[in-house]
Amino acid sequence: MRTWVPWSELTGGPRGTVEEFRDILRRYPRSSLLRACARLSVLFNYGPDADTTASDEATAKWAPLLFQAALLDRIGKLGARRRVIFFQAQLRSLASEVIRLNPFGGEDLAPVPDGMLGELMLRAGELLYQQHPKPTDELDEQANLISQFLPIYEMDSPTEAFIAFLRFYIFLTINIPRLPEELKTFDVAALFEKQFGFPLDTYAHFIFCFGMHAMIQRGKKSIEAAVDSGIRIETFRNMKLTPDTINRMFETVSFSLDTLSAQKLPTGYADFEFLRDHPYFLQNGEIFCLDYEFAMGKLESGVLWRVMKGLEQYQKEPYLSFWGNVFEDYVSWLFETYSSSSLNMIYPAPTYADDPMQQVCDAIVVCGSTAILIEAKLATVRADIRYSGDYKKMRAFLEDRLVCGTTRRVGVTQLVHALDRITSVPPLALPPWLAGVRKFIPVIVTKDDIGSSWVVNAYLNKRFRQEAKRHKKYTITPLVSLSVSTLERLMKTLKELPLAEILEGRMQEDKTLTRPFEAASKYAQSGVPGRLSVHMEILHELMERMTADFGLTDPSSPAQDIVK
């Protein structure tokens, strides 16, 4: 792990407080600060390829403009020791504090000078830490470590945001249509249009267009591109969309200072929920991308979470269950689409031979004489838990969503129950392809990043060992957890290796199971997953549909740049 440099360490002074930081921010116009965040995100190329820290080259190039000259020697020495000077979450923290600033200075103040921006970023980064308690119970201790490191894992996410966008687009266009009719319990497109006032397809095309514009700007890597990095509403006027639709579309992803209401205090460090919901800053008819990753997440947040908020209370839990089924199908679809069927035979939603109405688990992958039992979990950690730093809340979440559940078995206990039954019933009661298997690997795949984060696997495996019985004549390995993002990045390898070999390698490399999956497996490298050819085909089809839907005629359009 590389640690970032706080302002107090650089200057040798005391650690700053939130109040002191806000007093400094009030010296400058909020619009100047927010546009600086957007420009710096471009200059440091945050987002594409899951880049969350500035490269050594970018640090050396821009540090002289961002810091006072007297600090540059210290900056260079810290950089030489592999300390992180600039990272994405600094800008998230800075932008979030600017948005929450109340009272704030006027817009007629002098813009923030370049030599001050480095100090502001390091001060903002310094706030991304808080003291945690030290419980003595082993499970409490693990939950405490999870609550500390999950926000940090999220800050340095190995996930490429564009792949996450494509994943949700595949949910909508492939997985929902694939579901059995009895599981198609919601008309997502109709619910979306009722709430937002425009079609879901058009929204997907807009988010794609905005995201591609942000990627193109980051690819230019110049001060000119950073200064002129906004998307003008006027650019879209020549498209075959009504002005009202265009304005509504911009409003769903952006905020302006004129309409910004008072913001609640953060739940804890790394609480960027307003920025996640409004990743663009709107000023004078232009929107500026403050965060590439959050911008690409707007399709999912709009369709899943914003629509759910508009439902009646009795519909909300069934709506989440519906999306749970969609996610399960995506996990199976990944194996069907990419993995070698001779090495990884996938059986979605398998049932018992003597009880075809009873599902064993969400999916089983058979690798020779080993079977991997998979439970796929939506399991999104709410912001008030994720960022609270409260191990009691985190432990309650893990137990309710990934271990025991409240009204029914979930995760760990589902796998325990499945293994108990598989190893105790007569062979004829099992599917024929499972009857001869003697080795099992229990696996939990989460849609949320938590599945691959620090210490989570260790916690879930300990609870699995506490719940599971001993099974003579069978080998049952430790439980492995990972996120769907990690699973996507494994698909390249699953064309050539069995999943069982990869999972066992992860266990051998990190016997305590405390490290993130990526840190314990050479097959799960950060960034864009390799060889997701079908994802790329879907991306090309989406580009063609967007071009036709928008009726692109303006060569200055960001979407037209993409088509070129």
- Both tokens of 394, joined, read 């985190």
pLDDT tens figures, 452-494: 999 999 999 999 999 998 888 999 999 999 999 999 999 999 9
Provide mean pLDDT across the span 78-84: 95
Domain match, 297 and 193 both: yes
Does the N-terminal peptide bond of residue 103 adopt cis geometry, omega within 30 degrees of 0?
yes
Residue 155 lies in a domain: no
- pLDDT at 557 (0 to 100): 45
What average pLDDT score do residues 243-248 get? Answer: 88
pLDDT per residue over 37-60, tens digit each? 999 999 999 999 989 999 999 999
pLDDT at 167 exceeding the cut of 90: yes
Do residues 399 and 293 both lie within one domain?
Answer: no
State mean pLDDT over 280-299: 94
Q: In 3D, which of 414, 424, 533 has the Cα closest to residue 463?
A: 414
Q: Are residues 23 and 96 in the same domain?
A: yes
Q: Residue 166: exposed, middle, or buried by beta-carbon count in 10 A (0-12, 13-18, 19+)?
A: buried
> Per the domain annotation, does 142 fall within a domain?
no
Q: How far apart are CA 548 and CA 546, in angstroms?
A: 5
**38 and 289 in contact (C-beta within 8 Å)?**
yes
CA distance 328 to 283: 41
Question: Do 160 and 528 form a contact (C-beta atoms < 8 A)?
Answer: yes
* The predicted structure's pLDDT at residue 563: 35
* Cross-strand pairs, 444: 375, 481
Q: Are 115 and 66 in contact (CB under 8 A)?
A: yes
Number of residues assigned to the chain = 564
Residues 475 and 347 in one domain: yes
Asked whether residue 172 falls in the same domain as residue 201, the answer is yes
Let me know whether 224 and 103 are in one domain: no
Q: What's the domain range around 296? A: 161-258+270-310+540-563
Q: What is the pLDDT of residue 386?
A: 94
313-334 confidence digits (pLDDT tens): 999 999 999 999 999 999 999 9
pLDDT of residue 549: 82
Q: Of 343, 338, 337, 345, which Cα lies nearest the Cα of 364?
A: 345
Give domain status of residue 530, yes or no. Answer: no
Tell me the mean pLDDT in the region 257-272. Answer: 86
Residue 136 domain-assigned (yes or no): no
* Residue at 359 is within a domain: yes
On whether the CB atoms of residues 72 and 38 are closer than 8 A, the answer is: no
- 102 with 212, same domain? no
**What does the alpha-carbon distance between residue 265 and residue 96 come to, in Å, rounded to a whole number?**
10
In a shared domain, residues 294 and 335: no
Give residues with Cβ within 8 angstroms of 532, minimum separation 6: 163, 338, 488, 491, 492
Instruction: Return the pLDDT at 564.
Output: 33
pLDDT digits (tens, 9 = 90+) for 332-386: 999 999 999 999 999 999 999 999 999 999 999 999 999 999 999 998 999 999 9
Residue 137 lies in a domain: no
How many domains, the chain? 3
CATH code of the domain in which 485 resides: 3.40.91
290 and 365 part of one domain: no
pLDDT band at 552 (very low <50, low <70, confident <90, very high): low
pLDDT, position 261: 86
Residue 52: predicted pLDDT: 94
Q: Report yes or no: 59 and 77 within 8 Å, Cβ to Cβ.
A: no
In-domain check, residue 150: no
**Rounded mean pLDDT, 229-240:** 80
| Model pTM score | 0.94
Same domain, 465 and 546: no
Q: What is the pLDDT of residue 26?
A: 96
Question: Which residue did the predictor score with more confidence, 556 or 432?
Answer: 432
Residue 240 burial (10 A CB sphere; 0-12, 13-18, 19+): exposed
* Whether residue 548 sits in one domain with residue 407: no
Same domain, yes or no: 287 and 398: no
pLDDT tops 90 at residue 562: no
Domain end marker among 126, 150, 183: 126
Rg (CA), the chain: 24
pLDDT recorded at residue 95: 97
In the listed set 126, 148, 169, which residue is the last one of a domain according to the structure?
Answer: 126
Average pLDDT, the chain: 92
- Asked, for residue 346, whether it belongs to a domain, the answer is yes
Query: 500: which residues sit within 8 A by CB, 6+ positions away?
Result: 367, 368, 370, 372, 439, 441
Which residues touch 132 (CB under 8 Å, ≥6 apart)? 144, 147, 148, 389, 391
